[in-house]
Structure 1
Amino acid sequence: MRIGRLIVLLLIFAAIVAGIVFGIMFLTKTGIFGAAFSDPVSVVLPSASPSSTDNLSATAVDATLPSAFGLQTEVQQNGEAINDFNRTDPVSFPAGSAYTSLTGISSFRGNNYRDAAHFGGMENAPQKLEQLWSFDLGAASASAVAQPLVVRWDADMRRMMNLYDDKKSKDSLTEVILASADGKLYFMDLTDGSATRDPLALGFTAGGTPALDPRGYPLLYVGQGGDGTGASYMNVYSLIDGSLLYRCGADQRDAFAYRSAFQRFGASPLVASEADTLVWPGENGIVYTIRLNTNFDPAAKTISVAPEEPVKYHYTSAQYADDAQINEQAPRLYGFKSAPAAFKNYLLLSDNGGLLQCLDLNTMSPVYAQDVGGASDAALVFEHTGDSASLYLGTYDAAGAAHICKLNALSGETVWQKDVAGKLPASPVLGSGSLNGMVFFNLSGSDSGELIAYNKETGDTVWQHPLERPGASSPAAVYASDTSGFILQCDGNGKLLLLDGKTGEEKATLDLGGETQGSVAVFGNTAVLQSGQKLFGVLLS
């Protein structure tokens, strides 16, 4: 009898213990229910130390002298044209991996080298793609240079921002920021796609990808898009309360612009942190540099800017003409649509007329120039190794030819160039880890597309993978902790592919539906991209 009672008591005790254990599992969302309840977002943080660019210096050779292209340039300061300019607070950009203190992807392709559409990596090599969530937007994206931003805010920053209360208190909140074609900024939780704060009505369509301030300040830089024929401004917003702090541009045209009937700000800007200077090329053909005089007081939870008059650069030659005057003798069109790259005091940018320039930002004078064959929508990707530096870009011309180029970034000389039929609105991606020595381009044809892996030293094709529909979405490289690399690529019909980056073998696909033009951003094991009128979160597992 006593033994029976003891067994009953032991069973009751075991049941209580089990109940406590399972309760803890449920509350902490771990254990055997982890697959159903745990936060799916994980990231292996980068560990590589940034390499120094102190030994790099740009100098033209005879063939790349600006004078060889007949370039005539001018600088405007305080509204007046000047002959000589020397910046009082010199600009110097760091290595790409040191560009921002933020945890995440703060601008188009991540930094001033435009080589980081991903942040961190994954523990294991991905084998499948799984839709985590979708978020309804007011319009479909039509821009190849549109990409979500992804940032993990610390506790102090969360508390001062106008986040919803449950998001303020959420540890490791990772926020997705997207400028939609419906004229609003949307803010979402990377974990589940739920809104983190109210949308911000801009009153205009953004021109491309906004940029977060690389110093970690709660500032967001948003360029105005549209059809290029009306008002267009560069805008600076506070992420504390969503207020507009500053805008610069014109209702009709900047009088300093040679391009008289078109203005837009589609290039994702850069900020030179130590010089507190915003660098923003416009499609009107002007490069704007603006000292912001930023004042951020975390204790008071306030931020402000007191910008100085922009210092502007423009250029022309006998080969350039305004939109309505383009002809065989003057075939080049002014304006910068693609995101520039930068190292030290040099800005590297390619224009609508097929001319690439290296601009010394401290003197606002061109160091070298190079003909790259056609208009540039895609970002330029900068790379340096030791005493050498390279630039990768894709352009296309009105005759239907695309030009895939590698240049010496210090002199502007062409290392190799591939001329193929098609268009190249998408930005390239450089491989690292197991993909070291490779560069990837999404070539868009009339009815289909193709992802091409090139040997970056020789320009030889390593592999090609067909895409069912042409599109402008840029590829992204993702990596496991063993450095094995994979490529994410979406075609024009919303089909997302995961490829083995070494061989081009298809590992997984996911049909998102809708037309895809914008590019993907990847945080750890989670990709974010727009297809049709929805933004998707996709788990790589």
Structure 2
Amino acid sequence: MMALDTVVLFFLRIFRRFDKVYRYEALEQTGPEDKPHPVKGTTQDDLGIECNLEVNGKIQAEYQRLETIAFQPGEDYTKMEGIVTFRGDNLRSGAAFGELPSRPKKLEKKWSVSTGRLQKGYGKGYWTGSGWTGQPLIVRWTPELRKLMNIYPHKKEKEGLTEAIYSTMDGNVYFIDIEDGEKTRDDLFVGLPFKGAGALDPRGIPMLYLGPGDSCGDEPARGFIYNLINCKKLYEFGANDPFALRKFHGYDSSVLVAEAADTLIAPGENGILYTMKLNTKFNRETGELSIDPSETVKLRYKTYRSSEQNYWLGMEDSGVMWDNYLYIADNGGNLMCIDINTMKIIWAQDVVDDTNGSPVFSVEEGVPYLYIATSLHWTASPRLKLGDVPIFKINAITGEYVWKHTYLCNTVAGISGGVQATCVSGKHSISDLVIFPVARTPQVRAGILVALDKKTGEEVWRYHTGRYVWSSPVDIYDPDGNAYIVVCNSEGDMDLLDARKGTLLSRLNFGANIEASPAVFNDMLVVGTRGQEIVGVKIS
């Protein structure tokens, strides 16, 4: 198959380009004061989307949230020190907290923690190590909170303790001191495979939100909320939800919490968007913590092309929240803008294929945009398993394409080519760049990392990653604003790059596929491998 792949690509290269840029004329000009709305081609009817609402167990035609939600532009998602959700915040802007003390030159492995495996609930085989998306959460708890928690006594007294909280595919949650790799408390065994990052409550309330990617035997996949004072379960939702139109249930999406409205926003791979008022009570002196969810609202949808066999329903990526709008894509190639206060779809855009990487939000010259790309699944050619994978820049007000850059990719059943990762929207010295890994191109086992000009979509640099990449790259910066990228591939390589030039500075190899996504706190990086190991790496 590898030889055939090489021959086919050789002849294809004679007749066609492997990548191409398309640019689009806007139907209307948008500015900073405009609110999201559809234009011709971006209405939900254009994609044949039909919706239903369930509020507190009853079907309703209309809904208006009692306490409105608004994630105000320019406001931080959290005041906590660390990475509390996938890619850090409600805009999915990055997986690094703090900055490097100086220009980095090398990566150095400092510690490792062994993880396990979990028997699959169907067929043969095991879930092993850390999978996609697999990003750890990292937090430096306040001294007051740390003293209330079931952290080991010697760690509880440690000044500046920074804890990695890592849910993995063996059904465990691990708690690790990122400085030395020692456990900070007992492992939390849930018994379901965790692929997504989970999330911490951004209000500094010690709650952990978890979502397994699949069921396991008689244990159905469902959303969980845990109390991190004592690691006891507070609540669960979504198990075999009869409101779902899709049989499969998974909860890989990293949830968001609206602080003022005390409301959870949780997309499901069963085709349902869940929101619920948590009614949180937390005593910061005694550690008493409780929730009593109410106003449970479910939005389900279907499209003209979705079924159990093709263009599946369900949201596997993590959504962006801007103002009162949720931007999220699905397994069926639909990118949707949803008013979270009415649970109505404002606009929808066809992004062509299964979309697992999360949208990333960027405001440029006062106008909000989204960057997103797809895996190669539904649109691959039946015989050769080849197809053009699009990277999009999309106007967040109207849903219109701004530009599209396509790459010819291969795919393999169950291990897709294309873009599985979430991009880097550059800051500081690379504020003009957006950076995507593209898997299984040009050869089936190969991959590239590309930096595209935000305005034009043209390629600025290309880095060959060796084996293909599913892991989301992480951008980090020194005190002068110089940018660096860490990217991990499926052969276990971890590369540190100069993000302006796309050149290699340092490499480590961990001997096993790294499809999980790293998170960084100052100069310490944490990531897990499929080889049942969590590693701590110093960037120096």
TM-score, normalisation: structure 2: 0.86
What do the CA deviations read for 1:19-77 (whole angstroms, capped 9, x no partner)? Answer: xxxxxxxxxxxxxxxxxxxxxxxxxxxxxxxxxx9946211112211122222111110
Contact 1:218 1:238 in 2 (8 A): yes
Q: Does 1:538 align with 2:537?
A: yes
Q: Does 1:361 align with 2:340?
A: yes
Matches within 5 A, 1:360-439: 360-385=339-364, 387-398=366-377, 399=380, 400-401=386-387, 402-422=389-409, 423-439=418-434
Q: Does 1:461 align with 2:459?
A: yes
What do the CA deviations read for 1:381-404 (whole angstroms, capped 9, x no partner)? Answer: 011245310101110233043211
- C-alpha distance in 2 between matches for 1:414 and 1:228: 40
- C-alpha distance in 2 between matches for 1:284 and 1:276: 24
Contact 2:116 2:129 in 1 (8 A): no
Contact 2:130 2:528 in 1 (8 A): no
Contact 2:471 2:514 in 1 (8 A): yes
Q: Does 1:515 align with 2:513?
A: yes
Match of 1:254 among 234, 241, 257: 241
Change in Cα spacing, 1:96 to 1:338, as seen in structure 2 (3 Å) is farther
Q: Does 1:283 align with 2:283?
A: no
Quote the residue 2:525 is aligned against: 527
Quote the residue 1:66 is aligned against: 44
Q: Does 1:440 align with 2:435?
A: yes
Shift, 1:421, TM fit:
2.1
Change in Cα spacing, 1:165 to 1:276, as seen in structure 2 (3 Å) is same
Contact 2:131 2:168 in 1 (8 A): no
Contact 1:220 1:238 in 2 (8 A): yes
- C-alpha distance in 2 between matches for 1:228 and 1:203: 8
What do the CA deviations read for 1:477-501 (whole angstroms, capped 9, x no partner)? Answer: 1100000001111111111111110
Q: Does 1:171 align with 2:170?
A: no
Quote the residue 2:305 is aligned against: 319
What do the CA deviations read for 1:85-118 (whole angstroms, capped 9, x no partner)? Answer: 0000111123476001110000111011111211
Matches within 5 A, 1:5-16: none
Match of 1:479 among 459, 462, 477: 477
SS in 2 for 1:468: strand
Match of 1:234 among 215, 223, 243: 223
Match of 2:204 among 197, 209, 216: 216
Contact 1:207 1:264 in 2 (8 A): no
- C-alpha distance in 1 between matches for 2:317 and 2:450: 21
The residue type paired with residue 237 of structure 2 is C
Shift, 1:515, TM fit:
1.2
Contact 1:110 1:116 in 2 (8 A): yes
- C-alpha distance in 1 between matches for 2:74 and 2:510: 32
What do the CA deviations read for 1:298-341 (whole angstroms, capped 9, x no partner)? Answer: 112111100015200011232222x14x4xxxxx3201001111
- C-alpha distance in 2 between matches for 1:525 and 1:469: 26
Q: Does 1:94 align with 2:72?
A: yes
Q: Does 1:129 align with 2:107?
A: yes
The residue type paired with residue 399 of structure 2 is G
What do the CA deviations read for 1:220-271 (whole angstroms, capped 9, x no partner)? Answer: 0001222589612110000000000000112xx3221111x21111111111
Quote the residue 1:151 is aligned against: 139
What do the CA deviations read for 1:273-317 (whole angstroms, capped 9, x no partner)? Answer: 111100011011000001100001011211110001520001123
SS in 2 for 1:509: strand
- C-alpha distance in 1 between matches for 2:141 and 2:64: 37
Contact 1:96 1:113 in 2 (8 A): no
Quote the residue 2:187 is aligned against: 199
The residue type paired with residue 418 of structure 1 is H
- C-alpha distance in 2 between matches for 1:112 and 1:264: 21
Matches within 5 A, 1:491-506: 491-506=489-504
Q: Does 1:306 align with 2:305?
A: no
The residue type paired with residue 245 of structure 1 is L
Contact 1:207 1:267 in 2 (8 A): no
Match of 1:108 among 74, 86, 96: 86
- C-alpha distance in 2 between matches for 1:431 and 1:363: 33
Residue segments in structure 2 that go unaligned for 5+ positions in a row = 1-30, 118-127, 381-385, 410-417
Percent sequence identity over matched residues? Answer: 37
Contact 2:452 2:460 in 1 (8 A): yes
- C-alpha distance in 1 between matches for 2:207 and 2:482: 35
Greater share of residues in helix: 1
SS in 1 for 2:429: helix
- C-alpha distance in 2 between matches for 1:373 and 1:141: 31
Quote the residue 2:123 is aligned against: none
- C-alpha distance in 2 between matches for 1:54 and 1:246: 40
Shift, 1:468, TM fit:
1.4
The residue type paired with residue 451 of structure 1 is L
Contact 1:141 1:517 in 2 (8 A): no
Quote the residue 2:256 is aligned against: 270
Contact 2:148 2:286 in 1 (8 A): no
Change in Cα spacing, 1:105 to 1:97, as seen in structure 2 (3 Å) is farther
Match of 1:342 among 318, 321, 334: 321
SS in 2 for 1:310: strand
SS in 1 for 2:515: coil
The residue type paired with residue 193 of structure 1 is G
What do the CA deviations read for 1:111-166 (whole angstroms, capped 9, x no partner)? Answer: 11111211110121101111111111114346321101110111101100000001
The residue type paired with residue 132 of structure 2 is A
Between Structure 1 and Structure 2, how many residues are aligned? 479
Quote the residue 1:295 is aligned against: 281
- C-alpha distance in 2 between matches for 1:356 and 1:305: 32
- C-alpha distance in 2 between matches for 1:456 and 1:109: 19
The residue type paired with residue 205 of structure 1 is P
Quote the residue 1:40 is aligned against: none
